[in-house]
Structure 1
Amino acid sequence: MSSFKINTLLLSLISCSVFFTGCNDSHSSDDDVSVNQETPAAPKGVGYEDTAPLALNITPIVDSWITNQRGDARYATVKTNAGVRVLSGFLDVWTPSSLFVDAGVSAQAQDGFPAVTQSNWTGLPADSTDGSKKNADVLNYNINYSVQTTHNRTEEDAIRAYLDDRRGKSYSVTTGMGALTDPWRALTGQTTTINSVPSDANQVKYDDKGNNTGLTTAEGNTNFGKVVEFIQAMGNNSSTEPAKRFYKYARPYRWSTDVIVVSSLESAKSSTPSTDGGFPSGHTAEAGRNAIAMAYLVPQRYQEIIARGMDLGDSRIIAGMHSALDVIGGRLQSIAADVANLNAMTQAERKEAYSQAQTQLMKATNTSTFEEFYALSKTPYDTNDRFADLEKLKKQVDQWMTYGFNQISDKTKTATVPKGAEILLETRFPYLSAEQRRVVLKSTALASGYPVMDDTEGYGRLNLFKAGGGYGNFNGDVYLTMDADLGGFNQYDQWNNDITGEGKLTKLGTGTLALAGNNAFTGGIDLKQGSLELSSENAAGQGDIYMHENSRLNINATKTVNVSGNLTQLSGTMLNVNLQLNTLPAIQVGKTVTLNGTLQLITKTNLPTGTYTVLSAKKLQGSFKKVTLNGKDITANYQNNSVVFTVS
């Protein structure tokens, strides 16, 4: 044995007498993996990246949104009106009395398109002027859902439904911003005059006389006016009226007297049902448009704000004013409108509004770094904040996406992603390419077959809440580069979806990506550069982890992190463990762990006397070149295929 190896062994034995101790037991302490030990290879994945091609042989909504108009014969049919066409899945369950935008409106012949005569539809299902049920099971369930919901609502539900009905929709959606709500309202100048439910249920219709979206630059808001104008732009050509007057589907309380409208909203019911169709919900569409725009500008709250928009749609069902299909239709139209209007802006215009939002909100909240601002953005508004728990919101969004409807057609279709839809995630994932953002939308899309939601372009299946949590599957290999010097999400981001698939994740760049889902992808993790953080028990999926030189793996979970395959640490790498006493070992490796870098242990408090297991594996080879605990050097003990240390 060389003198170097003898000295190393003596130093290891002597170290047992210091405060932090650990003694090697039947394990090589060589700096490098023994020549008799084979280092596992890096994961291979599937060898290709996933793509999200466009639907073929169609006129994209993004290129034809200007056609969403009423009173124009050129845009009076499902083929010629983009706002009607995006909802054409409704024709699978309902056949309107005429196939024109003609309820309460007519149009003169123009450019070779024939004149449109005003429909005789009364808006009352009992009349002979009504359409017909093409799928009675779906439509009956739709109204029964309203019956059950309005019968089961609580007083708190009724109050919320009233406020969402009467208040400005942009103002209402700001409650999804948590601790940023008040700073946002102050910067925009948004106000409301509706702060309670009227005591007299028969009082005159109560309209919000506040400032719904806020003040523009022209109105003197030089600090935040571009933000206000950005949100207002989402309303361009975005009326739900053309679709309402095409589909001619009545509101739920006109279908059934068992649907109970909130008493304080009785006076708000329209007295002209022939121009008051239920499908799609206008409130839902407006709230959705505003929510998507706000989420674009404040992506730190992306999922919470998107959920608030969907929540306002749900309150329309609770109020008795709209059915579930009405709300689903409003959601579809809101996404289509924002895709069109975001793409209509220049990149410079989008960037200016985003920069203004981020800069002024950080200034207003006295935060100077991305980390500080991100942490504050995740702070609840108050103890009653319904958008503070992402895990709870996941379940609610799952319900809001389908409202319990059964799938009525092919359940296995691969999701398509609309042209230009990747722009919705432009600020949320700045380190991903446009094609990768399209794949995120594809990988998080709703399954096929649900009523209304199977439109040709794929708007109905987009789940923006889930997309805000990163990839939903790795059906191809994923390569991402995060440049920490660019700041924001380039510096640090977290994916909280439960990721499946056979692809591998290759992490490049100096930034940090955290995985926090219950992941099951099998292709492994190739950590080439920067940092990867595992924040949940199964964050690593079911493959290998391979750490290249200058990479760092952070373990920061409340349960033992499982690595199903091999964990390979090459020279020049760091394993960083946030050690928690109730989570030991911190890492459990299902196959071989190969050690050849450093281990950094961090605790929030001093550890009591005892022996602690950091890592356990089926097979352990190699050793750490250096181990520290809260910055102090300690010696690790390698025994029984585990890494332990002792505090004495």
Structure 2
Amino acid sequence: MPSTAGHHSPTRPAVNRRRFLKASFGGSAALVTAPTFASWLAAADAKAATAPAAFVDDYRTNVLANQTPETNAVVRILGGFAEVWKTGDAWNTGTVLRPDVLRANMRYCARITATRTEAQAKEAFVVDRQHQSYAMIGGLGPLADLYRSGAKAVTSITAAPDGTPPGKINDAVPADAPPGSALGAGSYDSQLGKVAKLVDTVRGGFASSNPAKFAYQYPRPWRMNEDSEVVDTGATDEFGYPVYDSQVVVAPQLLRQRAEKPSEDGGFPSGHSNALNLASLAYAYAVPERFQELVTRALDLSHTRIVAGMHSPVDVIGGRIMATALAAATLADPANAELKAAARAQALAYFLEETGATADTLYAYAHAADTATDPYADRDANARAVRPRLTYVLPRQGRDEPLTVPKGAEVLLETRQPYLTAAQRREVLRTTALPGGYVLLDGFEQWGRLNLFAAADGYGAFDSDVTVTLDARAGGFGAADSWRNDIRGDGGLAKRGTGTLTLSGHNRYKGATVVEDGALVAGSPDALGQGDVRVVGGTLRVAEVLRLRGTYLQDGDTTLELPLRENHGPALSVARRAVLGRGSVLALRLDADRPPVAGDVVPVLRAPRLRGRFDRIEVNSDVLRAVPVYTAEGLSVRLVKR
């Protein structure tokens, strides 16, 4: 599996692409009736006694000898592309089936490359030439340098030239690299050798994009400039290519890195995007503390393929789809069970030793940098960058059909959400997935609809009651996790186990929330949805303010922890009634920025009806204590000196 491949052609191919270019860039083109992927699938089902095999069971068919959906699992899951493009008998004889999609695809490329900066061109060169597995290490943030050192991972591509280099440039082990160094994910003979091997295995012999490229024969965007209907300026560049008024312009640094044979250099799917996403998911399995950042970086670097002028949005989407399925298939393969477990254990032990962190504090260490040193330190910025890159120019049409999560996909969250069952991880993937109706994403098994960035933030809906158990002794995500999504649905949540779960979305689920053990943290005013809340064990902790739409019940050996802030309303507001049973404790936490002082009367809990009283009220202060002031509609406390 080579790290990079040639992508330049100094000799202009003398071919005519006018027919499909008119449909792609502009002009008129008739829709062509052709066999679609859906009709193939129907025909295949009619001929066979059983449906096509699940991708995870059939991924090893992705070899060059197999280039049809009947014989190749990758070609099959990318079959949504057959709805927009009909492959011809040669690389330049394909037919546009959806001019709206492919015209938007080409115009996006032209716009992006026309506004590209010199810095972006240089970044695109580095991504093009550097080993993709090495490029993804940057997604590890504060752990990246430690990884490079421990894995003995090196590269010779660290910067881009100012202009067009005279010949092809490929990554190599630098002459001054330490002994035993290796390209990509690193050396197997290193402190992180199992992780390096896992990355290479996920990117192994059945992960090539070439069979699908040959099957679909969709040209790269820069090859479509010639003979197109855009305005010809009459000028040519130094390589003899015509210059157009509106065209896809390849980054200067990459002009001589292009492949020379159009018939062997298809655009769909993007091989770099496939490789980057494969590497990201392998690293994310071994180092789930940086799961979302790695997913973000893979999409970020894949976008540079468009910026470079080397690929189009549909190419990049295709690379992501196949990588998601291939990573799941490889990780779910029983043959790799021992390796993936060893890689996760090795990575955790290494980073704990090198950082001095514990399993419970490693996540904080991995997110300690700011955006000046970690480009992916801002989670909200990551989310804003990820969402449009999952669909790019694809229009959405039709109804939102429910997603059946592809077999085996849940393995992608195995180390990120180890406290959930496989069935629960499938529900996370289903309830956070993209809606249906995107033509390229709706292929066989719909792998393109999975939104792994969102899935890392927990459920998107409680369509039935959910029980989650976290164990404080498990460490890491098994002991504590945060669900940031806006959770909807008719179901509710039961929190069990000694660990801690934080909900911080604008949640609208209708079922009850029950705290049975450990801690449930309400990280937003609407964190606990619209149903009743019952604390029958453990602790309910409110970060700032909590609004409950139903009733509140606290009973037994339980704790309600609320913040106290000067000149602030009640931290807990209950829409219906509040019932306090025996054994219930109120723990008050003084606000660090605006703490109330002795003599202040601070509202704590407000409800139309309040029944019962707390057995004990605690304050995290050596000098203050709280005197309760109960009314029929709530509770305030008067702070006095001890």
TM-score of the pair, normalised by structure 1? 0.82
Mapped contact 1:555–1:578 kept (Cα < 8 A): yes
1:480 to 451, 464, 468: 468
Residue 57 in 1 paired to residue 26 in 2?
A: no
Cα displacement string for residues 443-496 of structure 1 (whole angstroms, at most 9, x for unaligned residues) = 111100102100221211111111111111111111122222222222111111
Comparing 533-542 with 616-625, which one deviates more in the overlay? Answer: 616-625
Alignment-derived partner of residue 402 in structure 1 = 391
Instruction: Name the SS of the counterpart of 1:205 in structure 2.
Output: coil
Q: Does 1:290 align with 2:282?
A: no
Secondary structure of residue in 2 paired with 1:402 = coil
**Is contact 1:611-1:645 (8 Å) kept?**
yes
Cα RMSD, aligned residues only: 1.9
Q: Aligned partners of 1:202 and 1:228: how far apart in 2?
A: 31
Match of 2:558 among 557, 570, 573: 573
5+ residue gaps, structure 1, are 1-55, 99-120, 124-128
Deviation at 1:255, TM superposition (A): 2.0
Match of 1:546 in 2: 534
Other structure's SS at 1:452 match: coil
Q: Is the 1:169–1:212 Cα contact (8 Å) retained in structure 2?
A: no
| Match of residue 422 from structure 1 | 410
Which whole-Å deviations, capped at 9, do the CAs of 1:349-393 have from their partners, x for residues lacking one? 3211111011101111121x2232121112236515321111121
In 2: Cα distance, 1:197 partner to 1:406 partner:
36
Aligned to 1:227: 195
The superposition leaves residues 112-153 of structure 1 with CA deviations (integer Å, 9 ceiling, x where unpaired) of xxxxxxxxx2x4xxxxx4110111111111111111222233
In structure 2, do the counterparts of structure 1 residues 357 and 271 end up closer, same or farther at CA, with 3 Å as the change threshold? Answer: same
Instruction: Return the offset for 1:503.
Output: 0.7
CA distance in 1, matches of 2:307, 2:567: 43
In the TM superposition, 1:480-499 aligns within 5 A as: 480-499=468-487
The change in CA–CA distance for 1:202 and 1:450 in structure 2 (over 3 A counts) is same
Q: Matches of 1:489 and 1:526 in 2, distance apart?
A: 21
- For 1:314, the equivalent position in structure 2 comes to 303
Match of 1:600 among 578, 587, 602: 587
Q: Note if 1:467 corresponds to 2:455.
A: yes
Contact 1:518 1:536 in 2 (8 A): yes
SS at match of 2:576: strand
2:107 to 136, 140, 144: 144
**Matched length:** 554
1:142-291 equivalences in 2 (<5 Å): 142-210=105-173, 211-217=182-188, 220-221=189-190, 223-236=191-204, 237-256=206-225, 258-291=247-280
| Aligned residue among 621, 626, 641 for 1:634 | 626
Equivalence map 1:440-589=2 (5 Å): 440-548=428-536, 550-557=537-544, 560-581=545-566, 584-589=569-574
CA displacement 1:578-602 (0-9 Å, x = unmatched): 4455864222222222223111112
Give the AA of the match of 2:636. V
- Mapped to 1, the partners of 2:628 and 2:152 lie a distance apart of 59
Q: Residue 414 of structure 1 aligns to which amino acid in structure 2?
A: P
SS in 1 for 2:441: coil
Name 2:25's counterpart in structure 1. Answer: none
SS of residue in 1 equivalent to 2:390: helix
Determine helix, strand or coil for the equivalent of 2:250: coil
C-alpha distance in 1 between matches for 2:275 and 2:337: 23
Partners of 1:427 and 1:583 in 2: CA distance: 41
Structure 2 residue 423 is the aligned partner of structure 1 residue 435: yes
Q: Does the alignment pair 1:352 with 2:342? A: yes
In 1, Cα distance between the equivalents of 2:573 and 2:115? 47
CA 1:304/1:212 → structure 2, altered by over 3 Å: closer, same or farther? same
Cα distance, 1:631 vs. partner?
A: 5.2
- Work out whether residues 590 and 618 of structure 1, in 8 Å CA contact, stay in contact via their aligned partners in 2: yes
Give the distance between the partners of 2:419 and 2:285, measured in 1 at CA.
Answer: 15
Q: Does 1:90 align with 2:90?
A: no
What is the CA–CA distance in structure 1 between the aligned matches of 2:97 and 2:281, rounded to whole Å?
Answer: 33
534 and 582 in structure 1: CA distance in 2 versus 1, 3 angstrom threshold? farther
In the TM superposition, residue 87 of structure 1 has moved relative to its aligned partner by 0.4
Q: Secondary structure at the match of 1:513?
A: strand
Q: Which amino acid aligns with 2:572?
A: I
Kindly provide the amino acid, as one letter, of the partner of residue 183 in structure 2: N
Contact 2:461 2:487 in 1 (8 A): yes
- Does the Cα contact within 8 Å between 2:626 and 2:638 map onto a contact in 1? no
- Indicate the residue corresponding to 1:9 in structure 2: none
Structure 1 position 316, deviation (Å): 1.1
Mapped to 2, the partners of 1:159 and 1:538 lie a distance apart of 45
Q: Does 1:647 align with 2:639?
A: yes
Whether the aligned pair in 2 keeps the contact of 1:179 and 1:381 (CA below 8 Å) is no
Bigger RCO of structures 1 and 2 (CA < 8 A, at least 6 apart): 1
Query: 1:565 touches 1:589 (CA, 8 Å); kept in 2?
Result: yes
1:25-72 per-position Cα deviation (integer Å, ceiling 9, x unaligned): xxxxxxxxxxxxxxxxxxxxxxxxxxxxxxx833111111111011x2
Q: Report if the CA contact (8 A) 1:188-1:213 is conserved.
A: no
How far apart in 2 are the matches of 1:285 and 1:465?
17
| Partner SS, residue 454 of structure 1 | coil
Gap change, CA 1:68 and 1:639, over 3 Å in 2: same
Structure 2, unmatched stretches of 5+, are: 1-49, 174-181, 226-243
Offset of residue 190 of structure 1: 1.5
Pick from 63, 67, 78 the counterpart of residue 61 of structure 2: 67
C-alpha displacement at 1:322, in angstroms?
Answer: 0.7
CA contact (8 A) 1:473 1:500 kept: yes
